[in-house]
Amino acid sequence: MTHVRGIRGIRGTRDVRGALSARPTRRPAGDARATPWHSLHAEWIKIRTMRSTLFVVLGTPAFCAGLAALNGSSAGTDYADMSAADQATFDPLAISLRGYLLVQIALGLLGGLVITSEYGARTIVPTLTSVPHRVRVLASKAVVLVGVALPVGILVSLVGFLVGQAALSGAGAPHLALSDGAALRGIFGGGVYLALAGLFGLALGTIIRSTTATVTTLFGVMLIVQAFAPALPGGLGDWVSKYWPPIAGGQIITAVQDPELLSPGAGLGVMAGCVLVLMAAAFVVFRKRDA
């Protein structure tokens, strides 16, 4: 490396003297005023050159396909031995879309990294000296994140659905076709939920700033609470199971309603409301705080 630096150094000196003094103060071509569109473009370049984005885009559909195949065939095989009551609540949609539980962490983490990587690497300084309009910066990050997370979320759900239903059908259990009403709601709604999970991560990351703390919080909020809700005392446990945003939002992938819980639409609404509040807080904090 040292010898490379040495060679470049000599070239660099000559280049700077020659090239810069040849064109003293000519302005670069292009519009003089920076617009929100420019900021969006900048954030798009950043998110597509983050390694995590590639991992999420390639990894999560493969993961969901695998999980749906396993869940579908095992649940399908169990179906014949189930009681009549269990058969009545057998939910082929939810079985095939269960992979969202982990994909929400992946997308939440991607959303978090969009901002925590800037604090971690201190690139927040060049970012804000390029675009000091902070609302514009965070809004651009949110838009490009949704631009990645929504298609990935829909793709992941679609892949899970198709593979899962094929596995159920192969095992001779009830299964759905894309033309069934609940199917498209589950797939697109699931995609929307996953995009919201990404924004949830972005809001948390903006407020927390540390990648590690954001990951920990995401796991806690999205998985641990869900796992421990039944262990919470009576009223609190019921409330959490019904209204805790990630649990409520997760109802969007169910085709068979549990009367104790929110409907898919209302549940997704609770999640969206929660993300809205967190994003609002993130905007306030990001705008006010020293970078």
Partner 1 sequence: MIEVRGLTKRYGEVLAVDDLTFAVRPGEVTGFLEPNGAGKSTTLRMILGLDAPSSGTATVGGMPFTAHPAPLRAVGALLDPGAVLSSRTAFHHLLALAAGNGIPRSRVDETLTEVGLEKVARRRAGTYSLGMRQRLGIAAALLGRPPVLVFDEPLNGLDPEGIVWIRSLMRNMAAEGRAVLMSSHLMSEMELTADHLIVIGRGKLIADTTMKDFIEAHSEREVLVRSPQTQALRRLLSEATGVRAEDHDTLVVTGLETVRIGGLAAAAGVELHELSPRQVSLERAFMDLTKDAVEYHAGEETSR
Q: Which residues bind partner 1 (CB under 8 A)?
A: 1-2, 4-6, 8-13, 15-17, 19-21, 24-35, 38-39, 41-43, 45-46, 49-51, 117, 121-133, 290-291
Of 177, 136, 143, 133, nearest to 47 (Cα)?
A: 143
Alpha-carbon distance of 63 to 68, in angstroms, equals: 9
Shortest spacing between CB 35 and partner 1, in angstroms: 7
Shortest spacing between CB 217 and partner 1, in angstroms: 22
Of 165, 197, 172, 11, nearest to 94 (Cα)?
A: 165
Shortest spacing between CB 207 and partner 1, in angstroms: 18
Which one, 132 or 220, has the nearer CB to partner 1? Answer: 132
Which one, 5 or 259, has the nearer CB to partner 1? Answer: 5
Which one, 6 or 174, has the nearer CB to partner 1? Answer: 6
Which one, 80 or 125, has the nearer CB to partner 1? Answer: 125
Shortest spacing between CB 97 and partner 1, in angstroms: 32
Cβ burial of 248 (10 Å; 0-12, 13-18, 19+) is buried
Shortest spacing between CB 180 and partner 1, in angstroms: 43
Helix H segments across the chain? Answer: 2-15, 21-22, 36-48, 51-79, 84-88, 92-97, 100-120, 124-130, 134-170, 181-208, 211-219, 225-228, 234-243, 245-250, 264-288
Pair of tokens at residue 181: 């009403």
Which one, 45 or 178, has the nearer CB to partner 1? Answer: 45
